[in-house]
Structure 1
Amino acid sequence: MNRRHCAAAAITLVCALAVLSAPAQAMAAPPPAPTATPSATPTPTPTPDATPTTPSPSEKRLQEVREEIETLYRKAEAATDAYNLAEGQAKKQSGEIVRLTKSIAEGQARIAELKDRAGAQAREQYRNAGLPPGAQLVLSGDPDLFLDGVNQAKQGQQATKGMLTELEQAQEDLETYTADASLNWEKIEANRVKQAKAKKRVKAQIAAAKKLESQLAKKEQARLLKLEQDAASTAQAAWLSSGALKDINREASPAGKKALAFATAQIGKPYVWGAEGPGSYDCSGLTSQAWAAAKQPIPRTSQEQWRQLPHIAIQDMRPGDLIIYHSDASHVGMYVGDGSIVHAPRPGRQVTLTGAGSMEILGVVRPDK
C-alpha cells in the first residue's frame, strides 16, 4: 500500500512539473525551418556594389568625366564651325576684292581713254579757230560740202554725247567698285576678328578636355574609351530597335559612290580642327572634301550644310547622304549604309566607321538631289 502510494505521488509530481514547464519551452523554441524543395534556388542579398544600375564611386566619376569631356569637345566643334565659316567668308570676300580691284583698274583705264578722246575733240575745235562745226559749214559756201558736213556733224555730236554718257557711267561704276571694295575690306576685318575669337574658344575647349583626360590613369583612360563605346552602342541599339532603318535598302547615286569612296579612304587619319585634308580632317572638312571629289561642291561647315542642302527624311536616305547631329548642327557624318556612318569624331580620335544612331540625329541632307 505504502509503496503504491509513493509511486502514485511521484507520477503526480512529474506530471505537474511537466505542465508548469510547457509554456516556457514553447516561447523559447525557434520556429521550425521550412523544408527546401529541389527546385528552389537561394537568392543572395544584393549589396550596393553588386546592383547593376548603381555604378561604383570610381565608375560614376568616370561617367562624369566622360560627359564633361564630351561637352567640351561639342563646344569646340561648334566653335570650329564658327571659325571655318568666318574663314570661308574671308576667302570669298578676298576673291571679291581681287575682282573689284581688277574692275577698278579697268574703269580707270576707260576713263583715261575717254578723257583723251574728249581732249582730242577740244584740240580739233581749237585748231578751227574755236568755231563750232555748224558755223564752219555755213562759212564754207559749198552746198555739197555743207550737206556732207551736216551729216558728219550730227554723227560727231552723237559720238560726243555717247562718249560723255559712257564717261559718266564709267565714273559711277568706278565709285561703286571702290565702295564695294571698301565694304568687303571691312567684312574681312570683321571676319578676322570672328576667326580669332572662335580659334581662341576652340583651343581653350580642346585644351580643357585634353587636360581632363590626361589626369586619368592609363587604366582609367582605357575604361573611358570603353564607356564611350558602350554609350554609342547603347544609343545605336535603341535607334535600330526603333525601326528607323526599316525597308531602307537604297543604292548611292553615281556621285554619292565617288564621295563615299573618298570618305572611306580617309579612315584612320586623325581629326584636327579646321583641317580639310589631305592628312587630317575635322568632321565637315571630311564631308565637304568627299563631295568636292565627286565634283559636287557643298558648304564647308556642318551648320551651313544643314542650312543650305535639301533635307531628306531618314527613311528615304541613301549612302552618300549626310547625317547632321545635335540640336546646333555641330557634327556631321556620311551615311555608308547598313546603319553606319563614316566620320571624323573629335580631337584624339581618327576618321572611323560608327553607328549612325550613336549620336543625337538632327536630320539628313542630300548634296546631289
Structure 2
Amino acid sequence: MASHRRPKQPSRARVTFFGAAATAAATVGITATSAQAAPQPTIDEVQAEVDSLYEEAEAVTEEYNGAKEREEELEAAVEDLQDSAARGQDELNELRGSLGSIAAAQYRNGGLDPSVQLFLSSDPDAYLSRASTLDQVSGRQAETLQLIEGKQRILDQQRAEAADALAELESLRSDLGDQKETIQGKLSEAQALLNQLSEEQRAQIAAQEAADREAAERASRAEPRGDITPVEGSGYAVAALNYAIGKLGSPYVFGASGPGSFDCSGLTSWAYAQAGVALPRTSQSQAGVGTRLGASELAPGDLVFFYGDLHHVGLYAGNGQVVHAPRPGQSVEYIGLNVMPFQFGVRVA
C-alpha cells in the first residue's frame, strides 16, 4: 500500500493548518469566496496528508495480517484440542464401561466387591487413595483405575487449554474487527481528501507521481520494466519472482494473499509459496527469514523492505526494479528501488 513517491513531510505547523482548514470547511461549509474562509490546502499538502494516511493504513494492515495469522493458528489448535478431548472421552467411557462390566458380573455372582462399590460411589482419585490402605483392589481393577485417573487428568487439561485458546480467539477476533475499522477509516479519510480536489488537481497529482517515479528511476540508473517476461535463472527465489511477475495488474486489496488480489506481504508470501517456500504473513516477520543485504548485493527474487517500521515489502526484479503490491486503487506493478525509502533486502534462507 506504499505510495509511489517519497511523500513530502509537512511541518507540524502545516499539518495542523491543514487539519484545521479541512475541519472548518467540513463543519460549517465555508466557501472559498467567503470573507472569513480559511485558505484551502494546497495540492502538495493534500498529497502529503493522503500519503501519510496510506502509510498509516498499511502499517495497521500488517498488524491485521499478523493477527489473522494468529487467528488461523488458534483455530487449528482449538480444533486439535477438541478432537483430542473427544477421543479421550471415548477412551475414558470405554474404560469405565469395562469396569462396570466387572461390577455387573460380581453382582450376578453374589454381590459387589468392596473395591468396585468404592469406585462406583466416588471418583478414581479418592478411590485409589482409600483403597491403597484397605488393600481392596485386585491387580486388574487397580490397573484400570489408574488408567482412568490418568486419562481423566489429561482430558481435564485438554479442556482447560481449549477453553483458554477459545477465549484468546474471541479476544483476537474483536481486535481484528477494530483493526479493520481503523484501516477502512484511514482509507476513507484519504479518499475524502482527494474528493475535495477538482478533477484537474487530481490529474496534477497523478502527473507529479509519475514524474517523481521517473526521476527516482533515472537517479538509480534503472531501466523501467513494464512487461511480464519471466526472469531467467534457477532456484526458488527466481521462481517466486516469476510467479509475482505473472500477477502484474492484479488489484491491491488489504489483507489479501492471492491468487486474484494481494496486499504487499500477501504478494510475497503467495509468490514464495508457489515456489515451495513458506514465509510468515507479515512484512516485519518476513524481514527475519534470511540474510540481510544492502542494495548492491540484491539478486532477483530477494525480498526488499521499505520504511523504518518495515511495513512494506516487495520482490527485487533486477536492474533496480521491484515488483510489489502498492495501495488501494492500484495494482501489482514494477517500481524503482529508490522511489520509496529502502531499508534492506533479505535473501530467503
Structure 1 residues 75, 131: closer, same or farther in 2, change over 3 A?
closer
Deviation at residue 128 of structure 1 after TM alignment = 4.7
Do structure 1's residue 261 and structure 2's residue 242 form an aligned pair?
Answer: yes
Q: Could you say which structure has the greater relative contact order, defined with CA pairs below 8 angstroms and 6 or more residues apart?
A: 2
Letter in 2 for 1:347: P
2:217 & 2:150 partners in 1: Cα distance? 64
CA RMSD of aligned residues (A): 2.5
**Mean alpha-carbon deviation: is it higher for 213-222 or for 113-122?**
213-222
> How many corresponding residue pairs?
278
2:322 & 2:56 partners in 1: Cα distance? 22
Letter in 2 for 1:283: C
Do structure 1's residue 329 and structure 2's residue 310 form an aligned pair?
Answer: yes
Alignment map for 1:21-60 (pairs within 5 Å): none
Residue number in structure 1 paired with 2:187 = 206
Deviation at residue 252 of structure 1 after TM alignment = 5.8
1:74 & 1:264 partners in 2: Cα distance? 24
1:235 & 1:327 partners in 2: Cα distance? 19
Q: What TM-score do you get using the length of structure 2 for normalisation?
A: 0.73
CA contact (8 A) 1:63 1:227 kept: no
CA contact (8 A) 2:194 2:202 kept: yes
CA contact (8 A) 2:314 2:324 kept: yes
Deviation at residue 180 of structure 1 after TM alignment = 1.1
Alignment map for 1:1-369 (pairs within 5 Å): 61-129=42-110, 157-236=138-217, 254-306=235-287, 308-314=288-294, 315-367=296-348, 369=349
CA contact (8 A) 1:73 1:206 kept: yes
Sequence identity (%): 35
SS at match of 1:164: helix
Deviation at residue 238 of structure 1 after TM alignment = 5.2
1:301 & 1:325 partners in 2: Cα distance? 13
Gaps of 5+ in 2: 1-38, 114-136, 223-230
Deviation at residue 233 of structure 1 after TM alignment = 4.3
Q: What TM-score do you get using the length of structure 1 for normalisation?
A: 0.69
Letter in 2 for 1:309: V
SS at match of 2:42: helix
1:111 & 1:67 partners in 2: Cα distance? 65
Q: Which has the higher helix share?
A: 1
2:82 & 2:341 partners in 1: Cα distance? 46
Letter in 2 for 1:288: S
2:61 & 2:290 partners in 1: Cα distance? 23
CA contact (8 A) 1:288 1:298 kept: yes
Gaps of 5+ in 1: 1-57, 133-155, 242-249
Structure 1 residues 352, 194: closer, same or farther in 2, change over 3 A?
same
CA contact (8 A) 1:275 1:281 kept: yes
Residues 267-292 of structure 1: per-residue CA shift (max 9 Å, x gap): 11221111222222111111111111
Deviation at residue 227 of structure 1 after TM alignment = 2.2
2:299 & 2:248 partners in 1: Cα distance? 20
Deviation at residue 322 of structure 1 after TM alignment = 1.0
Structure 1 residues 283, 333: closer, same or farther in 2, change over 3 A?
same
Letter in 1 for 2:290: P
CA contact (8 A) 1:319 1:336 kept: yes
